[in-house]
Structure 1
Amino acid sequence: MGLAVKPVTDEAFRAYGKVITGYETGELLKKMGSTPLPDDVIYVPSVKELEELEVTKEFAKRVYGQMPIQVGFCNGHNKKLNAVEYHRDSEVNIAVTDLILILGKQQDITTEFTYDSGLMEAFLVPAGTVIEVYATTLHYAPCHVEDGGFRCVVILPKGTNMELESLGEAVYKEDQLLFATNKWLIGHEEGGLPEVAYIGITGENLSV
């Protein structure tokens, strides 16, 4: 049986993030219509065409407090959790299509850096909705609602999700989770992740 899905307006979402209103995203959504939509999932961290739009400059100025940002996308077809990730800062998502996010809390990661997927909740984010996903929120690729797949704008501080320099031996066990710049990841053994990924999700590989 699939995971129960709540609307992003549900009170439960307040523990994971918030809905952002007041921004005119029409041009951004229109440009996203020409981005790839594969049978699996594609993530592109930074797209110059999206970053040059006036609305994304407003996000940098206001939502990110005048920090440099990158604007990319995550598109495709997906129904599974597969992994969870977190950053040291918030991520802004803009749903181009209806999509579902499966979310958890960093505070529930054990001292051994395992995580029980049974603690997660799923939320429907309607097309056109802008949300902030807090730094302490565990998340991964969205899930599609319709067979046509999903498209999602992903905004993060500049330099996130790029290739790591070699760390050498771990100083603290969390170092083993560092999968890309500013990206800590815990995978599920059924998630189909690269061999270098840290596998620590216990419980079911959730689906919606």
Structure 2
Amino acid sequence: MKIQSVKDDAFKPYGRIVDGYDYKLLLERLESETEKPADGVIYEPTCEALEDTPAFAQLRDNCYGGMPIEIGYCNGTNTKLNCFEYHRDNEINIAADDAILLVAKLQDVENGIIDSSKTEAFLCPKGTAVEVYSTTLHYAPCSAKKGEGFRVAIVLPRETNFDMPNITKANSEDAYLWAKNKWLIAHKDTAEAKAGAHVGITGENIDIADLI
């Protein structure tokens, strides 16, 4: 596996760079008001400090066409794939530190299974915002430098990743539903798999530690 850039043509099937919006205060608050664990990853779907910024209204009204949105964050230290998730919409990632995104195509999932060899890695440079398409499998970002962590703001439709609805499973995809608007496919060697997530990533649990 090689680490590419979100600015490369190879990223176009997965997403695009979203520029023109005022991310300055959002990034300042992400750095000053959110923690960055050195031994794991934390995710918060909403953060008042990030939503009380000029970027919130611009992303809601311009980028999402007026839909209700949330801005939270995914921070920490990580080098492994672990899982893939997807949503019924696009997601915006805004990086306060260099971060690496591990992604694959939803179209490559067959009968709930995808081999980890389908994964590609892309560097998202500090200060860059990317839109990850709804057909892009993704999960927590990875560290871009050995021993260093990341802070990434996460923008999604309001209440995404809140409590899972109580459903009667009607088809095979329903088995992947893990939270509101979140479908999850796990590798067998993960805490998510042990917690009952659908195990569908075959092959190795990719670790980019030797690439950074």
- TM superposition score category, shorter chain reference: over 0.9
Aligned residue for 1:15, secondary structure, equals coil
Matched letter for residue 9 of structure 1: K
State which drifts further: 48-57 or 38-47: 48-57
Q: What is the CA distance between 1:164 and its match in structure 2?
A: 1.2
| 1:84-163 map, 5 Å | 84-110=84-110, 112-146=111-145, 147-163=147-163
- Answer whether contact 2:22 2:54 (CA < 8 A) is retained: no
Aligned pair partner of 2:21 in 17, 23, 27: 23
Runs (4 or more) in structure 1 with deviation over 2 Å come to none
Root mean square deviation of aligned Cα: 0.9
Measure how far apart 1:195 and its partner are: 2.0
Is the aligned partner of 1:79 residue 2:79?
Answer: yes
> Which sections of structure 1, spanning at least 5 residues, go unmatched?
none
Counterpart selection for 2:10 from 12, 18, 28: 12
Q: Distance in 1 between matches of 2:118 and 2:138?
A: 12
How many residue pairs get aligned? The number is: 204
Classify the secondary structure of the residue corresponding to 2:107.
Answer: helix
Q: Do the aligned partners of 1:81 and 1:191 also contact (CA within 8 Å) in 2? A: no
| Partner Cα distance (1:130, 1:151) in 2 | 12
Using the size of structure 1 for normalisation, the TM-score is: 0.95
Bigger mean CA deviation after superposition, 101-110 or 158-167: 158-167
The residue identity in structure 1 corresponding to 2:81 is L
* TM-score w.r.t. length of structure 2: 0.94
Unmatched runs of 5 consecutive residues or more in structure 2: none
**Distance of 1:79 and 1:55 partners within structure 2:** 29
Q: Percent identical across equivalent pairs?
A: 45
1:185 equivalenced with 2:180 (yes/no):
no
